[in-house]
Structure 1
């Protein structure tokens, strides 16, 4: 995807999140984030919007602590505060040129501007789903190509870091196969006891377990927003269960 597409998606997802959260109310529980209210969700997301904008605008070399934004409001002031932070992030990304240079934090990351536009688009999309779950309405569909891109970021970025907790006693292979992206990738994830998962954009070779389904379903499942049974699981289900238990991103 192009940087401008990520920014457009970030704009749409932030607007949808704000609308769903405001309709749900600040104190509504968020089923997909047990223990959180909608207010917690909005404050968390906007803190990360402001964090990303600060990094890009200041060309900060990092690592930059994820400090909570000061003066976080409650009540009816919460919604305009969120929208102001979202709009400021959009302006920052749109004003930055392709040569923007700042800290990024995932292995194999694209250039910084694309990295932050992508990361915040996916951060906001997942939390928009959370807000819509609190609102108790139907979920707004995600574009299949965007969902597949988010799977790629999760598998080849987040879980390539040493902090990934997914380990197996012996080498195992998990395949993730979207069924609605004709030209999109399939991922083969190699697991072991002493290294983080190694995800390849390939369907070559056998797999011990395969998760398949629409890209949106797999995206939300891998981000722990849908149960495992939302996808088709073939092969060794215990491997899928292990991934589910240990793959949460902190």
Structure 2
């Protein structure tokens, strides 16, 4: 997927997030985020949008803290979120392709591609949260985008030392999208997980399902799909894979 596609998805998903949050109201419980209500979701995601936009707009090359959450609520908070989202979309859409700034995951070919991809997935997952708080059927996640999101999570976030998914002895987990040509082999040990896009060798446990189901399950938004093999390994992933 290219940068323009990620920006287009980001724009759509942020609009859906704001619309769902507005209908849900600020006190609606966000099921997948213990202790959060819709106001917390809007405050968090809006601050992340502004934080991300600043790296690109101001070309910051070192990590920077996020701003405090605003004290806004109700319609004013929704309007603030919409403005935060608009700033991010406009910043990414107008940035030079070779802009240099801070990033924190491997994979994308440029800083702009990194931030467009990361914020598209950030916003999609939280759009699902807002729609879950609202109730009713959530918008679907396209197969190609869901596959990319699984790849970002497994080969990006969980390649970092921060990943808490560890095993005392080497273990192998496989993740398979049943509606796409996408398979990941995740090698677990006392070190951070090592993931490759292939199905080589035997795996002790396999998680298989449509790409959208895998995407939302691996981000702890839905139960894990079909599990074959060692269910304890699937449970270990579920219990320790939250991104920190």
In which range does the TM-score fall when normalised by the shorter chain?
A: over 0.9
User: 1:225 maps to which residue?
Assistant: 221
User: For residues 153 and 170 of structure 1, what CA distance do their matches in structure 2 show?
Assistant: 25
Q: CA deviation at 1:109?
A: 4.1
In structure 2, the residue matched to 1:185 is 182
Asked if structure 1 preserves the Cα contact closer than 8 Å seen for 2:25 and 2:74, the reply is: no
CA contact (8 A) 1:109 1:157 kept: no
Q: Which runs of 5+ in 1 are unaligned?
A: none
Q: Distance in 2 between matches of 1:112 and 1:3?
A: 10
What's the CA shift string for 1:36-59, capped at 9, x where partnerless?
A: 000000110000000000110000
After superposition, what is the alpha-carbon deviation per residue over 1:178-235, rounded to whole angstroms, capped at 9, x for unaligned?
0111xx3210000002x1000001111110100000000000000000112xx11001
Residue in structure 2 matching 1:235, options 220, 229, 232: 229
Alignment partners' CA distance in 2, 1:27 and 1:172: 43
- Mapped contact 2:185–2:199 kept (Cα < 8 A): yes
Q: CA RMSD, aligned part only? A: 1.0
TM-score (norm 2): 0.98
SS at match of 2:109: coil
- Counterparts of 1:1-250 in structure 2 under 5 Å? 1-68=1-68, 71-181=70-180, 184-193=181-190, 195-228=191-224, 231-250=225-244
Q: What are the superposed Cα offsets for residues 115-142 of structure 1, whole Å, 9 maximum, x if unpaired? A: 0000000000000000000001111100
Deviation at 1:68, TM superposition (A): 2.4
Structure 2: unaligned runs, 5 residues or longer: none
TM-score normalised over the length of structure 1: 0.95
Cα distance between partner residues in 1 of 2:100 and 2:208: 37
For 1:152 and 1:67, how far apart are their aligned partners in 2?
29
- SS of the equivalent of 2:182 reads coil
